[in-house]
Amino acid sequence: MPLLLDLFCTFFRIGAFTFGGGYAMLPMLQRELVEKKKWVTEEEILDYFAIGQCTPGVIAVNTATFVGCRKAKAAGGILATLGVIAPSLIIITVIAAVLSNFAEIPAVRNAFAGIRVAVCVLIINSVVKLLKKSVVDKLTGIVFVVVAVCAIVFRNVSPVVFVLAAGVLGIVTRVFVQGRKEGQQ
Amino acid sequence: MILLRLFWEFFQIGLFSVGGGLATLPFLYSLGSRTGWFTTAQVADMLAVSESTPGPIGVNMATYVGYTCAGVPGSICATIGLVTPSVIVILIVAAALNAFRNNRYVDAAFYMLRPASTGLITAAGWSVLVLVLADTALFSSTGALTDLFRWKNILLFAVLFVLTNWVKPLKKLHPIVFIAFAAICGIVFRLGGA
């Protein structure tokens, strides 16, 4: 399959299988992009999520654009994005046209309550995989715990604050460690 | 004309809502009251549908609003409008990152960004977990500790956790299999209470 078509189809699948918004996409991204296609690594997925938090727009779309762009420049970014939004366009248009009370149908509500439980389990499994890649020493461990706890306790603080603070901390520690090495020489 | 207007309104929403789908909500409320295209109650209905269908919530909302205002062409214009700013910004960021790929300061920043990103995902997962496993509203009205926990959900959670982590042949299955299984359990055991 040509790469551009492959990008569209893969992200179409991801869009169609993502229930419950941005982070629920993570298990699908790991499965389709990291394990199956080997287009990106777990670390890169984390990088894209971090950048997606600070740039405008829907995180799922930002991630799709990023991966597509990585594989096939601007054309890849655009096709991956079209792929991830196409299922929404089709499904929502059909529902809006014929089933305006869709969310009140008992079977839908019950099925969705079950799906939310599955999404929780899948996200926890994803986080465990990501932890192995992102927490590699004491300092990264501290950053993980502090950000997780702060983001739970202070719900109104924008994620942008945490992302920027972590980035600055990374640069400062690098400069500090380097300065100390040079001082020793 | 309404198509151009839809594209432009959602272009602005896409440009100014930072941090995911739900960040678009306040913009949608203001759009409804400014234009009279839809009411606040309609936004609540659209959100319910967007949350119970696959796909990013922000994209689903844009499609729904666009369809309500101007049919299929409206849904396409609104959605394309919403994603256009992200595509432009990300293409620029990706090009910049490519240029600085081996810069040690950029490397150092990402070294710390990764645990922070994992922390943010953990926090988001935690808030969903609490909603799914505990019923704080019922607990605060009855005060009975047995009402705090959603027992059926906890049971399904435990079953899925064991299946996905400790049963070897199942570990390699696509996540959608577990989602479908959970949806069926939800219908059979009436997990939504409906």
Q: Which of B99, B132, B164 is the last residue of a domain?
A: B99
Contact of B96 with chain A, judged by CB distance below 8 Å, is answered with no
Averaged pLDDT of chain A: 90
Let me know whether B27 and B110 are in one domain. no
Six token digits for residue A45: 């997925």
Q: Which of A77, A120, A134 lies at the smallest CB-CB distance from B118?
A: A134
Give the residue among A89, A7, A9 at the shortest CA–CA distance from B81.
A89
Let me know whether B89 and B129 are in one domain. no
Q: Count CB neighbours of B22 within 10 A.
A: 17
Q: Which residue has the higher pLDDT, A185 or B181?
A: B181
- Check whether A79 has a pLDDT greater than 90: yes
Let me know whether B124 and B173 are in one domain. yes
Give the residue among A5, A51, A31 at the shortest CA–CA distance from B89.
A51
Q: What are phi and psi of A56, to 5 degrees?
A: -65, 155
Let me know whether A140 and A109 are in one domain. no
Q: Which of B99, B123, B144 is the last residue of a domain?
A: B99
Tell me how far apart the alpha carbons of residues A24 and A17 are, in angstroms, rounded to a whole number: 9
Note the pLDDT of residue B190: 93
Contact of B21 with chain A, judged by CB distance below 8 Å, is answered with yes
Q: Which residue has the higher pLDDT, A57 or A170?
A: A170
Interface test with chain B among A51, A78, A91, A120, by most B beta carbons within 10 Å: A120
Note the pLDDT of residue A114: 92
The answer to whether residue B193 sits within a structural domain is no
Let me know whether B110 and B138 are in one domain. yes
Q: Give the sign of the dihedral formed by CA B41, CA B45, CA B46, CA B48.
A: positive
pLDDT band at B1 (very low <50, low <70, confident <90, very high): confident
DSSP letters spanning A45-69: HHHHHHHHHHSBB-HHHHHHHHHHH
Domain count, chain B: 2
In tens, the pLDDT along B21-55 reads 567 788 888 888 898 888 888 888 888 888 888 98
**For residue B63, which residues of chain A lie inside 8 Å, CB to CB?**
88-89, 92-93, 96
Q: Which residue has the higher pLDDT, A81 or B50?
A: A81
Report how far Cα A166 is from the mean position of its chain's Cα atoms: 18
Interhelix angle B151-166/B104-133, nearest 10 degrees = 140
Average pLDDT, integer, range B116-135 = 89
Let me know whether B19 and B86 are in one domain. yes
Q: Is A113–B124 a contact, with Cβ atoms under 8 angstroms apart?
A: no
Q: Count CB neighbours of A37 within 10 A.
A: 14
Q: Is A125–B51 a contact, with Cβ atoms under 8 angstroms apart?
A: no
Let me know whether B78 and B139 are in one domain. no
Contact of B25 with chain A, judged by CB distance below 8 Å, is answered with no
Q: Which of A27, A110, A123 lies at the smallest CB-CB distance from B191?
A: A110
Shortest alpha-carbon distance between residue A111 and chain B (Å): 4
**For residue A171, which residues of chain B lie inside 8 Å, CB to CB?**
105, 108-109
Average pLDDT, integer, range A149-173 = 90
Six token digits for residue B80: 């394309």
- Check whether A160 has a pLDDT greater than 90: no
Let me know whether A153 and A121 are in one domain. no
Which residue in chain A is spatially nearest to B21 when comparing CA positions? Answer: A58
Residue type at position B114: R
- Check whether B188 has a pLDDT greater than 90: yes
In tens, the pLDDT along A50-65 reads 888 888 888 888 999 9
Note the pLDDT of residue A152: 92
Q: Is B112–A169 a contact, with Cβ atoms under 8 angstroms apart?
A: yes
pLDDT band at A184 (very low <50, low <70, confident <90, very high): confident
Q: Say how many residues make up chain A.
A: 185
Q: Which of B73, B99, B125 is the last residue of a domain?
A: B99
In tens, the pLDDT along A100-126 reads 778 888 999 999 899 999 999 999 999
Contact of B22 with chain A, judged by CB distance below 8 Å, is answered with yes
Note the pLDDT of residue B20: 60
Range of the domain at A174: 135-185
Let me know whether B14 and B94 are in one domain. yes
Which residue in chain A is spatially nearest to B134 when comparing CA positions? Answer: A117
Q: Which residue has the higher pLDDT, B73 or B50?
A: B73
Let me know whether B133 and B170 are in one domain. yes
Let me know whether A34 and A78 are in one domain. yes
The answer to whether residue B152 sits within a structural domain is yes
Let me know whether B129 and B116 are in one domain. yes
Interhelix angle B104-133/A42-54, nearest 10 degrees = 80
**For residue A25, which residues of chain B lie inside 8 Å, CB to CB?**
56
Let me know whether A84 and A33 are in one domain. yes
Which residue in chain B is spatially nearest to A63 when comparing CA positions? Answer: B90
DSSP letters spanning chain B: -HHHHHHHHHHHHHHH-BSSGGGGHHHHHHHHHHH-SS-HHHHHHHHHHHHTSBS-HHHHHHHHHHHHHHHHHHHHHHHHHHHHHHHHHHHHHHHHHHHTTT-HHHHHHHHHHHHHHHHHHHHHHHHHHHHHHB-HHHHHHH--GGGTB-HHHHHHHHHHHHHHHH-HHHHTS-HHHHHHHHHHHHHHTTTT--
Contact of B134 with chain A, judged by CB distance below 8 Å, is answered with no
Domain count, chain A: 2
Q: Which of B19, B58, B76 lies at the smallest CB-CB distance from A160?
A: B19
CB A64 within 8 A of CB B26: no
**What is the maximum span of chain B, computed from C-alpha positions, in angstroms?**
60
In tens, the pLDDT along B152-167 reads 999 999 999 999 999 8
The answer to whether residue B32 sits within a structural domain is yes
Let me know whether A119 and A170 are in one domain. no
CB A42 within 8 A of CB A130: yes
Note the pLDDT of residue A183: 78
Note the pLDDT of residue B19: 61
Let me know whether B67 and B51 are in one domain. yes
Averaged pLDDT of chain B: 89
Contact of B139 with chain A, judged by CB distance below 8 Å, is answered with no
Burial tier of B103 (Cβ tally within 10 Å: 0-12, 13-18, 19+)? exposed
**For residue A118, which residues of chain B lie inside 8 Å, CB to CB?**
156, 160, 178-179, 181-183
Range of the domain at B147: 104-188
ipTM exceeds 0.90: no
Give the residue among A128, A30, A41, A32 at the shortest CA–CA distance from A83.
A32
Let me know whether A68 and A25 are in one domain. yes
The answer to whether residue B194 sits within a structural domain is no
Let me know whether B95 and B150 are in one domain. no
**CA atoms within a 13 Å half-sphere pointing along the CA-CB vector of B148:** 5
The answer to whether residue B34 sits within a structural domain is yes
Interhelix angle B57-99/B2-16, nearest 10 degrees = 60
